[in-house]
């Protein structure tokens, strides 16, 4: 079993709070709703187009943790990036920061 775990990984308890949503599910949960919606792309990417109501917190910014610590950790947070890589890494960071409910857009805004 450890060989399979090494290949496919295991879900640690902290990652039980992360849910990867399809673009349709993500859209239905965020559009027109007052949610913590975070775009983790660079400011230039954000300016080129983003989901309405999203706040930009650049994944590469030195203020990443400071900005996320301003959010309510007990309320759901929705994250997305361009293709899903940065948002997946963000979701894992947020789980380590004790956020309770994290939703990640599968495939990023490219699939939205």
Catalytic sites, residue numbers:
81
- Are 77 and 57 a contacting pair, CB within 8 Å? no
SS (H, E, C) the chain: CHHHHHHHCCCCHHHHHEEEECHHHHHHHHCCCCCEEEECCCHHHHHCCCCCCCEECCCCCCCHHHHHHCCCCCCCEEEECCCCHHHHHHHHHHHHCCCCCEEEECCCHHHC
């Amino acid at each position: 079993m450890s060989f399979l775990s090494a290949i496919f990984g295991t879900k640690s308890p902290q990652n039980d709070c992360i849910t990867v949503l399809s673009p349709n599910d993500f859209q239905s949960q965020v559009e027109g709703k007052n949610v913590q919606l975070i775009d983790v792309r660079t400011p230039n990417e954000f300016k080129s187009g983003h989901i309405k109501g999203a706040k930009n917190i650049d994944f590469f910014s030195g203020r990443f943790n400071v900005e996320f610590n301003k959010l309510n950790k007990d309320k759901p947070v929705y994250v997305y990036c361009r293709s899903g890589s940065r948002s997946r890494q963000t979701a894992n960071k947020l789980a380590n920061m004790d956020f309770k409910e994290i939703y990640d857009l599968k495939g990023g805004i490219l699939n939205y």
